[in-house]
Every structure is written in C-alpha cells, then in structure tokens.
Amino acid sequence: MNVNPHELKFQAVAASPGIAIGQAFIILPQVSSYENVLERVIPESQIDSEIERFNRALEQCRQQIINMQQRVQDKFDSREAGIFDAHLLIADDQILNDEVKTLIGKGVNAEAAYKRVITRYVNAIESIPDSYIRERANDIKDIASRVINNLTRESTPVVKPPDTPHIVIAHDLTPSETALMDRKTILGFAVETGSTTSHTAILARSMQMPAIVGLPHEAFTEIKNGSMIIVDGGNGELFVNPAQETLDFYRERIALEHNFAISLAGERSLPAQTTDNYEVKLYGNLETAEDLSAIIESGAGGVGLFRTEYMFINTAVLPSEDKQYQIYSDLARRIHGAPLVIRTLDIGGDKLESRIDATMEANPFLGLRAIRLCLKSRIDIFRAQLRAILRASIHGDIRVMFPMISCVEEVIEIKSFVAKMMSELKSENIAFNQDIKLGIMIEIPSAALIAEKLAPLVDFFSIGTNDLIQYSIAIDRNNDRVAYLYQPTHPAVLELIHRTVCAARNHGIAVSICGEMAGNPIYTPLLVGMGVHELSMGPNSIGIIRRIIRMMNKKDAETAVAKALKCTTAEEALKVSAGILRSIAPDMVGLGMPGF
Ligand code: PEP
Ligand code: MG
C-alpha cells in the first residue's frame, strides 16, 4: 500500500457534484478597492525603484485589460469588447501618470500617490451633473483598483494560470468571475466563502464543474501552487497531496459516477411520472446561452428559468433590445417550441453590477433589487428587455417571469407596463404573442402569504426557494457562518411552499419550483407530494430527479407531506422525506449528490 504521509484532508461544503483531480492554482485575494491603501514614506534612495514598480503595475494593467478584452470578445460580442479601449486610454493617460510619478518623487509610496491623484479625478468627474459623464468615474475606479492590486501583489510573485488543466483555489469568486472561467483548463474549484445556494455555486452546477465552498482557512497555508489535490464536489471534501490509495479510490469513483450518468442518460426520453401516473415536468435552469446544450442533452422539457442577469454582468456594454431579441429568439428556436421561461433582470444581492446601479446599499439583499430596480430606477432596461422578449415570443413558447415580487401593487404596475409595451409594438406593426404567459417568482415570504391574492393576476407561479429560505429564516444565503440555519425543510419554509402550491391549485394556475431545492433528490418526495407541476433545476440533476420520480408513488408522497407539515423541526421533516427516498433508492446513496 502506497500511503503518502503528507496527505491532508479538509472538510468544506458540497457545492457542485463531481470529482476533480489535478494541480492547484491559487488565486490571491484582491484589495477590494483602490481606496483601501496605506500611505508610507519612501526614502530618497528608493524613489527610482518605486517609479519602476509603478511602471510595471501600469504595464500589467494594460496586459490585463487586453486579456479581458480578448476573453469578452471570444465569449460575448466583439462590439462590447470595445469599451476596454476606453480603459486602456485611462491606464495610458500621460498627464495622470506623470502627476503620480511627481508625487512618488516627493517620497510618497506608489499606491498612495496613485490613490491621491485618482481620487482628485474621480471627485471632479462625479461633481459633473451629466449622468453619462459621471458614469465614467466608475471606469477610472475600476482601473485604479487594478493598478493598486498589481502594486500590492508585487511582493508575492504573480503567477499566470497554467494552460494545462488545473483546480482553482480562491478565497472568494464572484458570480461574474465564475461565469468567465475557462472550462477547457479549469477542472473545478474550491473557495473559502459562499454557500450551496450562492450564485457562484449555482453557476458551478450549471457548468457541471465540481466545486466546494467554505474551504477552511487553514487549507490556504497547506496548498501551494502546483500541489496535487482532489476536490470531491458531492461530499465537500478536499485532499492535498493525496496518497496513491486515495487517488485510486477517487479514480474509481469517477468511473462509477460516469457509469451512473450514462445509465441516467438512457432514461432521458422517459416522462418523470410516478408509479401511480402523476407526471411532473422537468425543466432546466439556464445562466448563459452556452449552457443550453447541457439542458437539451439532459432531456429536460424546456427551460424553467433563464437567469438573464448574466447577459448584463459580464459585458462592457449593456445588451441592447435587438441583441436580446436575437438571444431569446435563438434560444427559443434551439429548443423547438418547448417552454422558455425568461426571468427579467434580477440584479442585486450578490449579483451586483455598478454599470446598472452604482449606489452602495447597506443591505443589498433587501434593497432596490430585481423588479424594484427595474420599475423604480432602470425602467429603460426593463423596457428594452420586455420589448425584446415580446418580439421574440413569436419564435416559440416564450414565457416571462418577474423576480422578487412582494405585493399585489407590483404585479399591477408590471401588467400595465407590459400592456403599454404591447400597444407600442402594435403601433409599430411589430409582431408578438398577445397571449404570452406572465408569471411571478414567489421568493419573498410576503408573496407566499398572499399567494391567494396574487394567483388571479398571473398565469403561473415559480417558487424561488433560494431566496424564500433566505428571507423567511433571515439568513444571508452567501454567509457560511449562518449556513447551518439554512434549512429547506424548516416548518416555516414548508408551510410557505405548501400555501403557494395550494393557492395555485385553487386558482387553476401552474406552479413550479426553480430554486435549488428542486434539484436535490432529498426533497423530491415532499415537492411531488405537495403537487407541484414543474421542477426546474441545473442540468446535472435532471436525470436523477427523473429516476426518483419514476420510482415514487404520489400517494405515499402525499402521506409524507401530511406528516412533514406536522413536524416541529427541520430535521424531523427532512427524515420523513429521506425515509421515502431511502425506501425506493437505497443504492443511490453516496453517489456524490449534495444533500443526499
Ligand atoms: C431563487 O431565489 O430560488 C431563485 C431561483 O433565484 P436566484 O437564485 O437567481 O435568486
Ligand atoms: Mg431569487
């Protein structure tokens, strides 16, 4: 037996199933803003080398902008990459850079000198009444943070990501950084922050990339660039310098999971129908257009949630109405008339984008987020998006869904705006589907509690359990310190879901679940037993959920729901659901499905 005495194991949180074996590449923490720098005095003898250091940081910044431009161009649209030309102009600004060098010449360190000059420019621009010009201050801040980061990282060698396959280790990854990951070279990732329902984790599942979150801080002192590691995304484990025995075990697991996936794929054309003939529609959640093929391959019946915000996040220029029209129409065509539920912009919370809303809020998850932002601050964006959706609606079964609904008034306001958009299009002789289905997300407890009042106003409900849990239990869904309280089977959560499903049934409208609960087999008995019509999830989960539903009996699930609703704790209710699951599919336990 070949045991490596240096093997270390860290327990983190499962975020995206699958196993990755490869070399680590560590992404160093960034200084979050150019404002967070300290001033120190540079002795005269070091002034020349300090200026050299500044020149190097500027040059690095230029390279980073060019690389970013290239990546955006490859992934999105060449016109959008053009904005980086403006960034290059800022980085190359001779007057600004000379001013910094003059200050360094007076003994101010490069970071502080740059900050001082930049702050003056930013203040001057921000005092101009023209909002377009004011927006440019954000570009300058962006470049400034980049240059400062380059300066502060200089003491630790900057390592270029390898071109060969590797596993990313980082303290934090934003949803936009995750969306831009190169899938050809990145095998998986492990981060210190976040939780299973953070958007970074959701994206990883969508990209079918093994990932763990909540990696213990100590791991960062043990993992070096190039260390051999194993990430077990289903069990939330990470091994550093694994022994031969561990490697063999995980290689066998990869083969096992592969075979299991093949056997699930063999059922892709079968309906998700219980043994007593209750059919549940299974749909895929889509983050970027390039993930549609995984949804199609999974045999999903359509797209139950298109998170359109990613079109707005990783782009230098916001997508125009025409660009959106093209994207929506292409997607509708590619799924050949199957339902495509397009959710309007849900920016805010952890999906922040300063180009859309630069206002800093103390509590972004409770702030001017999603539909609130669209209606109250960026009606221009809402207008372009709705017109694009309506125009595309003639190319398939496109439905539109509005996020973060909290009251009846919002729905009334939305509907009158949709009617206005329709009459505009009519007067321009532009075709659209007049009967397009309008739905709302039920993800705020107030909406679930007034579901009976909301149901008559819309064509469907989609329950966003990620936010519903966050808001009903009052826990930040990204905060690993309170992740232990994040319990989908909390009696309050089950009550809210049940209430919503009953209201939909009473009013004859469809109800789906599109939060992460929908793709976790452990909750399937409860959701099916309550009588949801549709479950929408990451493509990875569709096969297993289909198999479980096909093994299940709706009557038994209903009995389980009646029992679970009487439970006083989340754990008891979870046991009820797990009991059904174990009785029908004991052999699936331990196959790397989160929460199993
Ligand atoms: C949800 O809240 O459950 C949901 C599906 O939306 P998101 O995760 O994008 O907030
Ligand atoms: Mg949500």
Instruction: Identify the residue whose C-alpha is closest to ligand 1 atom 6.
Output: 464
Is the pLDDT at 344 greater than 90, yes or no?
Answer: yes
Are 25 and 170 part of one and the same domain?
yes
At 588 the pLDDT is 67
Are 82 and 95 part of one and the same domain?
yes
Provide the H-helix boundaries in 127-243.
Answer: 131-153, 175-179, 199-206, 219-222
Order of all β-strands in the sheet with 13-16:
8-11, 237-240, 228-232, 19-27, 166-170, 186-191, 211-213, 13-16
The crossing angle, in degrees rounded to 10, of helices 47-75 and 110-126 is 60
Evaluate whether 26 touches 170 at the Cβ level (below 8 Å): yes
At 163 the pLDDT is 85
Which of 112, 130, 152 is the last residue before a domain boundary?
Answer: 152
Q: Is 514 touching ligand 1 by the criterion CB < 6 Å?
A: yes
Are 479 and 509 part of one and the same domain?
yes
pTM, two decimal places: 0.78
Instruction: Identify the residue whose C-alpha is closest to ligand 1 atom 10.
Output: 467
At 161 the pLDDT is 74
Are 463 and 574 part of one and the same domain?
yes
Strands (E), 431-585: 438-442, 460-463, 510-513, 534-537
Residue 130 lies inside a defined structural domain of this protein:
yes
Are 428 and 526 part of one and the same domain?
no
Are 87 and 99 part of one and the same domain?
yes
Assigned token pair, 299: 């045999």
In angstroms, what is the span from residue 464 Cα to ligand 1's centroid?
5
Task: Give residue 566's domain range.
Answer: 273-282+440-586
The crossing angle, in degrees rounded to 10, of helices 570-584 and 539-551 is 70
Residue 265 lies inside a defined structural domain of this protein:
no
Chain segment 401-438, per-residue pLDDT in tens: 999 999 999 999 999 999 999 999 999 999 999 999 99
Are 576 and 453 part of one and the same domain?
yes
Residue 18 lies inside a defined structural domain of this protein:
yes
Percentage with pLDDT > 70 across the chain: 90
Are 459 and 559 part of one and the same domain?
yes
Highest mean pLDDT, choosing among 51-65, 213-227, 302-316, 440-454: 440-454
Assigned token pair, 155: 């003491």
In angstroms, what is the span from residue 471 Cα to ligand 2's centroid?
10
Is the pLDDT at 524 greater than 50, yes or no?
Answer: yes
Distance (Å, whole) CA 571 – CA 352: 34
Q: Is 15 touching ligand 1 by the criterion CB < 6 Å?
A: no
At 157 the pLDDT is 42
At 139 the pLDDT is 76
Nearest to 280 by CA among 484, 108, 513: 513
Which residues are known to be catalytic? 199, 514
Are 17 and 47 part of one and the same domain?
no
At 158 the pLDDT is 43
Which of 436, 453, 473 is the last residue before a domain boundary?
Answer: 436
Distance (Å, whole) CA 373 – CA 378: 6
Are 131 and 179 part of one and the same domain?
no
CATH number for the domain spanning 322: value is 3.20.20.60
In angstroms, what is the span from residue 466 Cα to ligand 1's centroid?
5
Angle, CA of 299, 300 and 303, to the nearest 5°: 145
pLDDT band at 27 (very low <50, low <70, confident <90, very high): confident
Residue 268 lies inside a defined structural domain of this protein:
no
Is the pLDDT at 398 greater than 70, yes or no?
Answer: yes
In angstroms, what is the span from residue 151 Cα to ligand 2's centroid?
37
Chain segment 144-197, per-residue pLDDT in tens: 888 888 887 654 444 467 889 999 999 888 777 787 788 889 999 999 888 888
Number of domains, the chain: 4
CATH number for the domain spanning 187: value is 3.50.30.10
Give, for ligand 1, the residue of 371, 467, 476 to mutate: max count of ligand atoms closer than 8 Å to Cβ: 467
Q: Is 445 touching ligand 1 by the criterion CB < 6 Å?
A: no
Are 331 and 466 part of one and the same domain?
no
Task: For 45, list phi and psi in degrees, rounded to 5.
Answer: -65, -20
Across all residues in the chain, what is the average pLDDT?
Answer: 89
Chain segment 249-306, per-residue pLDDT in tens: 999 999 998 999 999 999 999 999 999 999 999 999 999 888 899 999 999 999 999 9
Q: What is the mean pLDDT of residues 558-585?
A: 95
CATH number for the domain spanning 54: value is 1.10.274.10
Distance (Å, whole) CA 104 – CA 99: 9
At 363 the pLDDT is 87
At 1 the pLDDT is 46
Residue 12 lies inside a defined structural domain of this protein:
yes
Distance (Å, whole) CA 543 – CA 260: 10
